Amino acid sequence: MSVKQLFDLTGHVALVTGGSRGLGLQMAEALGEMGAKLAITARKADELAQARAHLEGLGYEVETVVNDLSKFDQIPALVDQVLARFGTIDILVNNAGATWGAKAEDYPDAAWHKVMDLNVNAPFFLSREVGKRCMIPNGRGSIIVTASVAGLKGTPPGMNTIGYNTSKAAAIHFARTLASEWGHYGIRVNAICPGFFPSKLANGLIEKLGDSLVTRTPLRRIGGDEDLKGAVVFLASEASRHITGQALVVDGGASII
């Protein structure tokens, strides 16, 4: 098999949560470019419609599902809709996420549960549903979790994101553990750990930290619109068929110093 064939996703079906904007839309673009049929889900119908128009304008086949992943009882219906359109799910990108900034001693209960529900619980429940109904019967599949470099370390003074950091550490270990359990089914599970990328979740912190973000990053830049595309295609495709349970850091080198 050629290298080009290893990266080819023609005929595969990819479900991307939080796929209407930001990192999710970037990853959906990449998977579509490599031939995957796309299902994207998010809470806001207008943003999904815009994303669909954008992706279809690029020539990709797209299904959109309005869904709030924090309402766990809606997850089977989400999978139902994708299966009704495409028949299966080969690639699952658990990308939807939430954050909340507050000092640990003042962190609201509701905020803690919101972050954990979307960043930890929903990926498990959705992966379980897709695994049981598609990947285990098919004997193959790739599950990718959008974690974060925040899951690898604490926070600089003033960031106060204990819920987010804790949830992303859990996401990394979720990928490792599910990979160890489901490997014998032919299912691979990996995490991507982005550093700072412009997004609705991160823009406030990027503005707050300013130039210090760039100066303490070896590559002297933050993430851009193309910087997760190669990583997600690699982990979704046969190019990484002997890789599972890993956390791929995409942060310009910021976490090494």
Instruction: Give the separation between CA 118 and CA 43, rounded to whole angstroms.
Output: 12
Q: Dig out the tokens for 106 from the structure.
A: 């003042």
User: Annotated active-site positions, please?
Assistant: 164
Count other C-beta atoms under 10 Å from residue 244's C-beta. 20
Nearest to 144 by CA among 71, 96, 92: 92
Q: Dig out the tokens for 24 from the structure.
A: 């999710």
34-71: b (≥16 Cβ within 10 Å) or e = bbbbbbbbbeeeebbeebbebbeeeebebbbbbbbbbe
Contacts by residues 157-165 (CB-CB < 8 Å, ≥ 24 positions apart): 158/208, 159/101, 159/205, 160/101, 160/102, 160/103, 160/104, 161/99, 161/100, 161/101, 162/104, 162/107, 163/99, 163/100, 163/107, 163/111, 163/112, 163/115, 163/116, 164/98, 164/99, 164/100, 164/115, 164/119
Q: What burial class does residue 111 get, using C-beta atoms within 10 Å of its C-beta: 0-12 exposed, 13-18 middle, 19+ buried?
A: middle
Count other C-beta atoms under 10 Å from residue 238's C-beta. 16
Instruction: Give the separation between CA 98 and CA 115, rounded to whole angstroms.
Output: 5
Per-residue pLDDT of the chain (257 residues; tens, 9 = 90+): 899 999 999 999 999 999 999 999 999 999 999 999 999 999 999 999 999 999 999 999 999 999 999 999 999 999 999 999 999 999 999 999 999 999 999 999 999 999 999 999 999 999 999 999 999 999 999 999 999 999 998 877 778 899 999 999 999 999 999 999 999 999 999 999 998 787 665 666 656 556 667 788 888 888 889 999 999 999 999 999 999 999 999 998 888 88
So what's the pLDDT on residue 153? 87
So what's the pLDDT on residue 229? 97
**CATH number for region 3-252:** 3.40.50.720
Domain parsing of the chain, residue ranges: 3-252
Q: Tell me, what DSSP letter sits at residue 104?
A: G
So what's the pLDDT on residue 224? 86
